[in-house]
Structure 1
Amino acid sequence: MRKLTAILATAILLTGCGGAETADTPPTVRLLVFGAPEELESYRTLVDEYVKVSSGARVQLVEASDREDLITRLSTSIAGGSPPDLFLMNYRFYGQFAAKNAVEPLDDRLAKSTVVKLADLYPQAVEAFRWQGRQLCLPQNVSSLVVYYNRTLFQKFGVAEPKAGWTWNDLITTATAMTRNASGTIVRGTESEGGSARVAVYGLGVEPTLIRVAPLVWSAGGQIVDDERKPTRFTFEAGPARDALRDFVALRLAYGVVPTDEEVEAENDESRFSNGRLAMLLSSRRVTTTFRTVKDFEWDVAPMPLYGKQPAGILHSDAYCITSGSKAKDAAWRFLEFAIGAEGQRILASTGRTVPSNIEVSKSPAFLDPTQPPRNAQVFLDAVPTIRRVPTISTWPEIEDATGGILENALYRGDKLDDVIRQLDEQTRPIFARGVSP
């Protein structure tokens, strides 16, 4: 009953505030987003600025609590015939809506636009939102996975800060040196399970997910799927993919440098980093808005370590998409133009939320401002040429859901690698088979 009530409330919210476009009454554009409070504030800033410079324009932010809530709201409202006009979504998740023709192609509008040109945007992000030859959404950002680190802690313990060219072994060594008990003594391996050696500061925080493992596989020259365009299965059974998965899940039980499952449940990695109890965190640009509220220590970012011989990053990109069922497509496009245009890109970049998809803006002080952390923001731009992406087939969200628990058990419980690989294959092959490719 509680879930049904929430769905009905969502439908009412999305239905009650719209309206078709007329000459006399500009419609309210409903934009569905999710994020941490600091991220949502960034979008409010963008909307406020747009309303200021656009006579009569009205934009309502519909704020979901998390990604799952956003997808549920969007699915429910589309099925009910009253979708939001715009939604912001990561490329890994929009395929399920593209496959159902629920997203409005933008090619004709782009051809006439004097504000947005695809040539001005990073192609790695643009191409992630092309579906069967059409440009469905426009990316706001071109982030990658980086290492956030607490400079104050590194200086306190006299450990060298991570730098360009460092390796996976360097990461392990550094994380071990930064895993300390309350007296400042290094805690090694399984000593971190409790007692007098209880950890006060962990060396590393990382989610046990596919998008954290994939860059390691690519760095070693491997693949995570059999065909990146039309995948049918994972390829973790041998070679670089198997090695990378093995070394990734060793972080907890072999090295003890990441928090336990119970500790993560009690305090997530972002909060632990913000509270000074985590030395390093693997994440994308989106956590920057939250970390800029930290006043107790200095932090910065470093590139991902080399697992193999070549640098490899993974795309983290969100895009604005117009729903095909929107009753205010022209008004939605005008906001989208502003958001992806140079001015909108500068506004959002200055809040810390994005690595701008606009190439020129990404190289400007709006993003590289040395007075705002991270001081080494250039790391994000240096990673762009190495960025790759996971498949965008329509069932990819289901695949990530299916693998989440398996990888959690591997990291925290120490499930046997062969069993992990078998489960990954068995649980996902049927889902791959149902997927529609872009």
Structure 2
Amino acid sequence: MKRLLTAAVAALLLASCSTTGTESPKDNAPVQLLVFGSPDELAAYRTLVSAYKGGQVQLVEAADRKDLITKLSTSIAGGAPQDLFLMNYRFYGQFAAKNAIEPIDDQLKKSTVIKAADFYPEAMKPFQWAGKQLCMPQNVSSLQVYYNKGLFTKFGVAAPKPGWTWTDMLTTAQDMTRDAAGHVVKATEPEAGATPPAVHGLGTESVMIRLAPFVWSNGGQLVDNDAKPTRFTFDTPAAREALKNFIDLRLGYGVIPTDDEVKAQDLVARFTSGKLAMLLESRRITPTLRAAKELSWDVAALPTYKQPGGILHSDAYCITKASKNKESAWKFMEFAMSPEGQRIIAATGRTVPSHIATAKSNAFLDGNAPAHAQIFLDAVPSLKAVPTISTWPEIEDITEGILENALYRGDKLDDVIAEIDKQTKPIFARGEAS
């Protein structure tokens, strides 16, 4: 099981509290920007750095998110952190709670390049802690449904339509689950010796951020208090129904691949190779799909229960409290968040720009796949964020294992709810909220 916040990392963060950050900057020292991403994303950040004329910027590339958090924690504890880092709102709370991030309210008010009102408030708010704006969100992405147009045409199934429901998606996934001969496969547990589906109708990760928007869409709440949560609320009717339908996707309906199939080939690879008809994912996979030249694909809005429901996927630039180049770090952040900087990153296809004017321009709506990119902008008003408490990474890790067992092992719903409650309540209790 993944661990994004280990005891060692927590100790490193505690050690950072004694750092004052009052040291003088070194002469001509470059601003260090810590990032991670796909090759396409990293190439975009290199382009962004090259386009900046305000000083030297050194890109520090982490292998993945876990490596980024470890690198940042270690550098903060050592008193010489990277000046800037890019991080998702779901993970920055552990650093905000330890006062390791420099607020940017004053710089933002003085700026003649960007203003707070230029950006989607749905992305800005999750990066506010103790009444202060700590980071600037570069994107306002969301979870949507990617679908393989070629497969839908091949099997004569209608593509997802605006306003479709969870039931519509499930029915479509059943119609798109096919054997090698192209016949619909509806058996959840194939008979001994039977050939498994060659194409599954749907792919999704067994993680809380895939489940959450359906809880909200069904009129339920994910936690008891969004600002200061103490527990999940899957024991309520709306949340319970959404959870049941989610975990029934595998053993109840057989529309998603088995865990062994996913281990052999991940979901994105299965989608690009024609083994998945639909995939629940955020904007981040767009560069990968664009690179698959033989793939014909598009994106559809997330299906609903009773009302539109969406989950925010957003990363932001943050300045470390102990940075010795805070002024220079802000200047680069200001450039990165400007229309020019936002256009450079948007060109990769990876992000939905948080800068409103850029998101509504040809920089984002450029006609490249996905053809229905407007769906991401239409979703913004209904986006919600998961709690930004300091221990949320631990909570995600714990619930991933429980949901995975429920999906693939068939754990009973009441046992799943009880286990989530049992294992996460103590972690909620330790969490510091914004």
Measured against the shorter chain, the TM-score band is: over 0.9
Contact preservation (8 Å) 1:39, 1:290: no
Report deviation, 1:280: 0.7
**Aligned-partner Cα distance in 2 for 1:229–1:213:** 19
How big is each residue's C-alpha offset from its partner over 1:105-138, in whole Å with a ceiling of 9 and x where there is no partner? 0011111111110100000000010000100000
Contact preservation (8 Å) 2:220, 2:236: no
Matches within 5 A, 1:31-42: 31-42=33-44
**Aligned-partner Cα distance in 1 for 2:193–2:371:** 38
Given the alignment of the two structures, is residue 427 of structure 1 paired with residue 431 of structure 2, yes or no?
no
Matches within 5 A, 1:267-282: 267-282=265-280
Structure 1 runs of 4+ with >6 Å offset = none
Match of 2:25 among 17, 21, 25: 21
Match of 2:287 among 286, 289, 297: 289
Report deviation, 1:332: 1.1
**Aligned-partner Cα distance in 2 for 1:275–1:96:** 38
Q: Secondary structure at the match of 1:410?
A: helix
Matches within 5 A, 1:243-258: 243-258=241-256
Report deviation, 1:185: 1.4
Report deviation, 1:415: 0.6
Report deviation, 1:193: 7.5
Matches within 5 A, 1:383-398: 383-398=379-394
- Indicate the larger mover: 66-75 or 418-427: 66-75
**One-letter code of the match for 2:315?**
D
Contact preservation (8 Å) 1:137, 1:321: yes
Q: Indicate the RMSD between aligned Cα atoms, in angstroms.
A: 1.5
**Aligned-partner Cα distance in 1 for 2:287–2:277:** 18
Report deviation, 1:334: 1.1
**One-letter code of the match for 1:33?**
V
**One-letter code of the match for 1:394?**
S
Given the alignment of the two structures, is residue 186 of structure 1 paired with residue 150 of structure 2, yes or no?
no
1:129–1:204 Cα change, 3 Å: same
**Aligned-partner Cα distance in 2 for 1:28–1:276:** 45
Partner of 2:373: 377
Given the alignment of the two structures, is residue 319 of structure 1 paired with residue 316 of structure 2, yes or no?
yes
**Aligned-partner Cα distance in 2 for 1:123–1:338:** 19
**One-letter code of the match for 1:98?**
A
Partner of 1:88: 86
How big is each residue's C-alpha offset from its partner over 1:205-263, in whole Å with a ceiling of 9 and x where there is no partner? 10111111111111111001100100001110131001100000000011111111111
Given the alignment of the two structures, is residue 436 of structure 1 paired with residue 398 of structure 2, yes or no?
no
Contact preservation (8 Å) 1:27, 1:331: no
Contact preservation (8 Å) 1:39, 1:286: no
Contact preservation (8 Å) 1:85, 1:328: yes
Q: Secondary structure at the match of 1:73?
A: helix
Match of 1:211 among 209, 212, 218: 209
Contact preservation (8 Å) 1:88, 1:318: yes
Partner of 1:345: 342
**Aligned-partner Cα distance in 1 for 2:187–2:401:** 23
Partner of 2:75: 77
How big is each residue's C-alpha offset from its partner over 1:47-103, in whole Å with a ceiling of 9 and x where there is no partner? 2222xxx05x22222121211111111112111212111111110110000000000
Given the alignment of the two structures, is residue 229 of structure 1 paired with residue 227 of structure 2, yes or no?
yes
Partner of 2:143: 145
Q: Please state which structure has a larger fraction of its residues in helix.
A: 1
Q: In structure 2, list runs of 5 or more residues that go unmatched.
A: 1-8, 10-22
**Aligned-partner Cα distance in 1 for 2:193–2:151:** 23
Report deviation, 1:197: 3.0
1:381–1:266 Cα change, 3 Å: same
Matches within 5 A, 1:100-119: 100-119=98-117
Partner of 1:49: 51
**One-letter code of the match for 1:146?**
Q
Partner of 1:333: 330
Partner of 2:15: none
**Aligned-partner Cα distance in 2 for 1:123–1:261:** 38
**One-letter code of the match for 1:74?**
L
How big is each residue's C-alpha offset from its partner over 1:182-215, in whole Å with a ceiling of 9 and x where there is no partner? 1111111325577443221111110111111111
1:365–1:197 Cα change, 3 Å: same
TM score, norm. by length of structure 1: 0.92
Match of 1:414 among 404, 410, 427: 410
Q: In structure 1, list runs of 5 or more residues that go unmatched.
A: 1-6, 8-18
Contact preservation (8 Å) 1:189, 1:254: no
User: Identity over the aligned pairs, expressed in percent?
Assistant: 64
Report deviation, 1:34: 1.3
Contact preservation (8 Å) 2:173, 2:255: yes
**Aligned-partner Cα distance in 2 for 1:194–1:186:** 18
Q: Secondary structure at the match of 1:353?
A: coil
Partner of 1:4: none
How big is each residue's C-alpha offset from its partner over 1:379-399, in whole Å with a ceiling of 9 and x where there is no partner? 000000110111101111111
